[in-house]
Amino acid sequence: MQAIILAAGVGTRMLPLTSTKPKPMLPIATKPILEHIINATKKAGVKDIVIVQDRGKYIEKYFGSGEKLGVKIKYVVQEQKLGTAHAISICEPHIKSENFLVVNGDNFVRVDVLSNLVRKHKGDATITLLEVLDKELMGTLSTVKIEKDRITKIVEKPKPHEILSPYASIGTYAFSKYLFDAIRKIGKSPRGEYELPTAMQLLLDEGKKMYFVKTQYWQHISYPWDLLTANKMFLDEAKAKFRGGEIEKNVTIKGKLILGKNSVIKSGAYIEGPVMIGDNCTIGPNCFLRAYTCLGDNVRVGNGVEIKNSIVMNGAHIPHLSYVGDSIIGENVNFGAGAILTNFRLDGQNVKVQIKDKVVDSGLRKLGAIVGDNVKFGSNVVVNPGKKIGANSFIWPGRVITEDVPDNSEVK
C-alpha cells in the first residue's frame, strides 16, 4: 500500500505563523506536523509516500527523499488550488498499488488511527470517523449516513439541517483506484474546486462499497491555539527521555522531562513537567519552565524567565526577566529584558483573536500571543492576550501591543 499526503494548503487562518512556512511544517513537540504524519504512516506499515506540495517546494527541501525518516517520498506540485480531489488526481501516475491511503497533511494523527485504518480497510473506500456533537465544528467537516457497517451518503460542510449523523470524516482514508475514475467524472463545486466528498458520493451512487472505522483521537489544526492542544496531547503520551544533555546541580525537576542532545540546564532552574527541550539549548540559571512548555532547537532561556504552556520554535532567545504564557513563538525571535506576553483578560472572559475578517472566540480563558518568525522585542514590551505579531517585525522598548501587528512592521 502507498500513501498520499495532502500538504499544499495555504493556512491563512494560521497567520502570522504561515507567513514564512507552510502550515504542515508548523511544529508540534519540536517536529513539523507533517513529520509526525510521515512517522505515523511508516509505523502503520506504509513507507511509499506521495506528498502534494505547493510551488514553493519548502516541504521537499526539508524532507528530501525521505531516507532519513526511513521512507520513500515522491513529490507533486499543485500549481493551482483546485481542491482536494484535484490534489489526489495529480498523484495518479505515482500510485502503483491497488489501494492507497489519503491523509490530510495539517492534522495531528496518531499512529493507532492509521494502523487501524490500514488493518481494517476493505471494499473501495474506508474512512475514519469521529463523533462530533458540536454543530459548528460539524459544519466544517463532512457528515455521513451509516447503515449497519457501511456508509451510504456523505455531505461536505453541512448546514445544521443537513447533518446525517453525529459522525464526521476526519481526513484519513483508504481507497481503491476506482477513486481516480470518480474524480475524472465530477465537476467543480460552487467555490470552483474539485471536492473529495463529491467524488466519494459518486462512488456510492455507482454502487461501490464504503466502510468506516471509528476513533476518539484526533486534533484538527484550524487555528494557532490548536497547536497548543496538539502539543499537550503529544506530551501527555510521551515518555521522559534524556538524549545526552547536561543538568547542573540545584536544578529541580518535577514531572516528565524530555531533554535533547547537547542542551544544558543551569543551576536554579525549576522545571514542572511535562516539558520538552530540543537540542543545543541553554536553560537558566534561575528560570521556571511550567507544564506543556516545548522548546525547539538552539533556544536560549535565561535568568528570571517564566514560560507556561507555550511553543517556542528554533533559535528563539528569551534571555532575562520575561514572562511567556500560553503563547506560540516563531523561529529566531528575540526578547529584550522584561518583555511580557500576557495570557489573561482582566474581565476573565475568553480570549478572542482576529482571524482574517472575523473575531474568533478561542474558547480559552488563557491564551497569550502568536508571534511570527524573526520578531525583535525591545525591553519592557507588553503584548495583550490573543494578539498576533507579524513576522520580521520590530517592537520598540516600552510599547504596549493592544492590536495585531502586520508582517514587516516597526512599532515605535
- Residue 220: CB atoms within 10 Å: 18
94 catalytic residue (yes or no): no
Q: What is the mean pLDDT of the chain?
A: 95
pTM over 0.75: yes
Q: Judge whether 56 lies within some domain.
A: yes
Domain range for 153 is: 2-222
Judge whether 234 lies within some domain: no
User: Is 324 part of a structural domain of the chain?
Assistant: yes
pLDDT at 55 exceeding the cut of 90:
no
pLDDT score of 9: 86
Q: Which three cell numbers stand for residue 15?
A: 497567520
Are residues 186 and 323 both part of a single domain?
A: no
Question: In terms of domains, do 263 and 388 share one?
Answer: yes
pLDDT greater than 90 at residue 139: no
Q: Over 90: is that where the pLDDT of 135 sits?
A: no
Q: What per-residue confidence (pLDDT) applies to 286?
A: 97
Which of the four pLDDT bands, split at 50, 70 and 90, describes residue 306?
very high
**Dist CA 410 CA 406 (whole Å):** 9
Q: Per residue in 85-113, pLDDT tens?
A: 999 999 999 999 999 999 999 889 889 99
Same domain, 216 and 272: no
Strand (E) or helix (H) holding 175: strand 167-176
Confidence check: pLDDT of 156 > 90? no
Residue 231 lies in a domain: no
Q: What's the confidence (pLDDT) of residue 341?
A: 98
Kindly state whether residues 153 and 185 are assigned to the same domain. yes
Cell numbers given for 387: 494578539
| Catalytic residue selected from 36, 86, 317, 320 | 320
Domain total of the chain: 2
> What pLDDT is stored for residue 141 in this prediction?
84
Claim to verify: residue 297 and residue 211 sit in the same structural domain: no
- How far apart CA 340 and CA 322 sit, in angstroms, is 5
Task: Give the tens place of pLDDT for each residue, 111-131.
Answer: 999 999 999 999 999 999 999
The CATH number that applies at residue 253 is 2.160.10.10
